Structure 1
């Protein structure tokens, strides 16, 4: 099985909570974890043996997990307790009590909670009334893997989102299936599964942003954010098209190229152009294909064509400029210790 599995039954009953607490503190530095006071009518009792069953899988940089627990409270104890990325929590059973920057919420099955840890004050994981324990699925996404505008994402951080309809239901279903089928995957499957999960995360977040910025009465700044969300989502889904250019992106959104460049410069702080964004993401996808053993027999020029490069020589020049090696050398020698594109 790929992934890391933990069951509290493997630890003596008297040591289970302390063992799990130590394990989780390593994952949530700066937070304090304690058993929750039992509530009337719940399955938890003050003298009950602590239960924790967890499965964590790394999917090419993303992380997904299933956690079934007795009720616990997680509270910030230091101001520097930041996660450095985003997390989606999908309750399956019980209730998730959250306080993000003073904004309290209660999330139950059929919803999801999106946060970044920077101003997360507390999480309460509560078992349902009656039999059972708290059960949640999680998706951890590094900040640099989310390509949507940070200014727009700020409208969703610390918010409860729907998880039982549209792209949210698809995301919930796929994460659940990925975890349920962990025993059937090969290590080489993880990057592909991570791409599928990340695409659904983007689809759901973009859908929510568009839904919240569709009102004609919004301020110009919010309308620009909405346009930028659509632009980035459009480019992500048309990377394979060799005709994807700043002009085609502007035409598809009924704006001028100069206006497109202006809002994109504001988004990136002038660090990257529209054409540079397209080139970087095409190269990242091509690099992953070149490193995929399942595609070892596919010629380099076909991988280049798959990601919008009509001329193999142009692809080789761009790849060398980004990664310091040719596509063929990269495929034969394997990834370098750091294979991020050069700035």
Structure 2
């Protein structure tokens, strides 16, 4: 079994909303949380059923809840720093206010936001006495390699997910939460990798759909960045992946590729540096996977494009302050919180 469950029926009926409200306040400090219409709830009283699952970086959850309103009334909180979040209504309606932009999300869509300018959420049942059900997918911002400037075009918007990559993403997450008791704890990181890949595919699809047809130079540059990052992510195992190969595949010069990439990263990272960092992150994940414990370090290095084991060891030590072998065997300095 992976994940943690909460059920309001484990609490006396008169205390259920207050108990759940306290849980949410700990997570969303600065937000006032109220029942939408206490008089209209069912005879069983306030209901909240939650299953939360950490998948390494990504975090997924399902909720079934009586209608509530959440409204920002205080300063920024840890909720604002958590990352990007998809709210996917399964039953009922989600009413939103993000930076003054009002929206309504229904089943078949996913509301994408980052918390920083979220003013309110209204969770409504399909009828006056039912419940609201949702899937939630949370992604730390530093795990997404798509251009932040491009992602800002999607934040605070309702995105379709009835077909294509959106339907695939929500279908996989739905399966994970509905089958949580069939997975082992060691499956979590592998499932997280799959969810993160699907999130990238979904967001890249949405960005290309929204910007691909635009003649605006800035939009074309964002669309190119999305394609470039997606191209590199899927070829990290290729030892021949170089800035020149990336530029050739997209019919641009290497100097232009470097220019738009510097703009994307604020000058903090080169194309080659991005490739190196991503390869090391994937290798680090494999070194901690118990299923791969018998796989020699040099084979894991080769799996992510390193043809020379010594070069991999030097790069790994420079990034994480320990050798790959030390990291695999749990040297104290080799925690998952080391810089990446």
Please give the TM-score of this superposition, normalised by the length of structure 1.
Answer: 0.95
Partner Cα separation in structure 1 for residue 51 and residue 308 of structure 2: 44
Report the CA distance between 1:45 and its aligned residue.
3.3
Whether contact under 8 Å (2:109, 2:160) holds in the other structure is yes
**Deviation readout 1:184-232 (Å, 9 max, x if unpaired):** 1111110110110011111000100001111242x21121111111111
Whether contact under 8 Å (1:291, 1:334) holds in the other structure is no
**Deviation readout 1:75-102 (Å, 9 max, x if unpaired):** 0012424521110011000000011111
Residue 299 (structure 1) aligned to one of 290, 296, 301: 296
Whether contact under 8 Å (2:7, 2:48) holds in the other structure is yes
Partner Cα separation in structure 2 for residue 216 and residue 69 of structure 1: 41
Partner Cα separation in structure 1 for residue 175 and residue 285 of structure 2: 23
Residue 220 (structure 1) aligned to one of 205, 217, 233: 217
Segments of structure 1 that go 5 or more residues without pairing to the other structure are none
Partner Cα separation in structure 1 for residue 153 and residue 203 of structure 2: 10
Residue in 2 that maps onto 1:157:
155
* 2:68 corresponds to 1:77: no
Whether contact under 8 Å (1:69, 1:134) holds in the other structure is yes
Partner Cα separation in structure 2 for residue 177 and residue 334 of structure 1: 35
Partner Cα separation in structure 1 for residue 275 and residue 214 of structure 2: 30
List, as ranges, runs of 4+ consecutive aligned residues in structure 1 with deviation greater than 2 Å.
44-48, 333-342
What secondary structure is seen at the aligned counterpart in 1 of 2:27?
A: coil
Residue in 2 that maps onto 1:23:
23
Partner Cα separation in structure 2 for residue 27 and residue 47 of structure 1: 28
Residue in 2 that maps onto 1:209:
207
* 2:257 corresponds to 1:260: yes
What secondary structure is seen at the aligned counterpart in 1 of 2:189?
A: helix
* 1:305-324 → structure 2 map (5 Å cutoff): 305-324=302-321
What secondary structure is seen at the aligned counterpart in 1 of 2:231?
A: helix
Partner Cα separation in structure 2 for residue 151 and residue 228 of structure 1: 10
Please give the TM-score of this superposition, normalised by the length of structure 2.
Answer: 0.95
Report the CA distance between 1:46 and its aligned residue.
8.2
Taking a change above 3 Å as real, the CA distance of residues 130 and 78 of structure 1, as seen in their structure-2 partners, is closer
* 2:248 corresponds to 1:251: yes
Whether contact under 8 Å (1:213, 1:226) holds in the other structure is yes
Report the CA distance between 1:337 and its aligned residue.
3.6
Whether contact under 8 Å (1:88, 1:138) holds in the other structure is yes
Segments of structure 2 that go 5 or more residues without pairing to the other structure are none
Taking a change above 3 Å as real, the CA distance of residues 78 and 4 of structure 1, as seen in their structure-2 partners, is same
- Figure out how many residues of one structure are paired with residues of the other and give that number: 337
RMSD of the alignment, in Å? 1.6
Report the CA distance between 1:122 and its aligned residue.
0.4
